Amino acid sequence: MKVLFLTNEYPPQIYGGAGVHVEYLSKELSRLMDVEVRSFGGDAGGNEHLIARGFKSDEKRFLGAPKNLRGIFTTMERCLDFVGVGLDAHVVHCHTWYTHMAGIWAKLNYGIPMVLTTHSLEPLRPWKKEQLGNGYDFSCWVEKTAIEMADAIVAVSNGTKNDVLKHFNVSENRVKIIYNGIDVDEFKKTSNRDLISRFGIDFTKPYLLFVGRITRQKGIIHLVRAISKINKDFQIVLCAGAPDTPEIGNEMKENVERVSASRKGIIWIPEMVNKATLIQLYSNASIFCCPSIYEPFGIINLEAMACEVPVVASCVGGIPEVVENEKTGLLVNLDQLNVAPFEPVDPQKFSSDLADSINKVTADPKLACEMGKKGRERVEKIFSWKSIASQTKILYENLLRK
């Protein structure tokens, strides 16, 4: 059996959880079958059972279109290239809406089953309208069309499955829950600091860590607003880059500057660091915070837990299925979002609740240590890529039998 993965992200160009998922699942699946990955990046090589090909587009071709729509059109161009070069796979497996049109073309033209993994859902990310304008209407349409004609839909959590059933016309028996995973041999606590010493962290003092893109979805602005109420003995390390828009990038900058004027020890790392650096950041942190306002799963929480760091996270989407409240960390309730400006109904309360939960954990080092240990145990027990690859293979086999 051979499966074709279609993805935006793939090494060496990864910036989010979907890319991490594809990287590790393709590698583990290649132990069980032949895997081909077609991505928006450059060629990434592979091995006997894993071939990775990058497809680039001509960015100058769409200069006549509005700037915020050029990405939409280059996405469709690469989707056509994905399938136009031919394929010999038995199953096509799409990751994120960027590849859904290619999946549709593959299913209809080549007559093979189409599987979609729902890493996120467009109707639940209305802030993308800021970024894409009317292109957001198009991305919603592509996603809806693909999901409703897919032969199988992989939801990365129970929460995501419920969202799929709520927002799309699909039968429940077509939705299969298969969690995200993590390489527990790679992500584990280390005492090394050589790669993070350049950031100016004072290792004689504890620090809180955030990792993620600067986007409405990740809720980083709410964490920055909470800093003034967080234990002042703690440094705040914000590993945050790749802003969705210049506007939210400027908003982040203004909020960091404002809180830095009255508090020392705030370190902003405005870049997407490599994996080895990331593991050192996690391993040396005393607590990790995930303030997302939408998170179908949240691989970053798995990464932190694998490195034995207690987690304070918002209680949304699939996060409660990853972080066990009062065992591996604390969950913070998030009120319903306003449609615009895409913030909680009471953003001040959310920021205050984040600070209270962070302070509760940091005030009790013994509790924090126990949560970190239990987090590692939970990751090892439930979220291995070997198990996830096995479940995915069974899904493919069932589709082919039908």
- Check pLDDT > 70 for residue 43: no
Tokens standing for 348? 């001040």
- Residue 289 has a pLDDT of 98
Q: 151's torsion region: left (phi>0), alpha (psi -120 to 50) or beta? A: alpha
Contacts of 85 (CB under 8 A, 6+ apart): none
Phi-psi region at 206: left, alpha or beta (left = phi > 0; alpha = psi -120 to 50): beta
pLDDT at 129 over 90: no
pTM of the entire structure? 0.84
| SS3 annotation, 107-160 | HHHHCCCEEEEECCCHHHCCCHHHHHCCHHHHHHHHHHHHHHHCCEEEECCHHH
- Would you say residue 156 has pLDDT above 80? yes
pLDDT number for residue 274: 93
In this predicted model, what pLDDT tens digit does every residue of 115-125 receive, in sequence order? 999 999 999 88
> Is it the case that residue 161 has pLDDT exceeding 90?
yes
Task: Give the confidence band of 342 by pLDDT, cuts at 50, 70, 90.
Answer: low
% pLDDT > 90, the chain: 84
DSSP 41: S
The closest of 55, 54, 76 to 65, measured between CA atoms, is 76
At 109, list the tokens: 């033209």
pLDDT in tens, 251-307: 999 999 999 999 999 999 998 899 999 999 999 999 999 999 999 998 999 999 999
Q: Which domains does the chain have, with CATH numbers?
A: 2-181+384-401 (3.40.50.2000), 197-382 (3.40.50.2000)
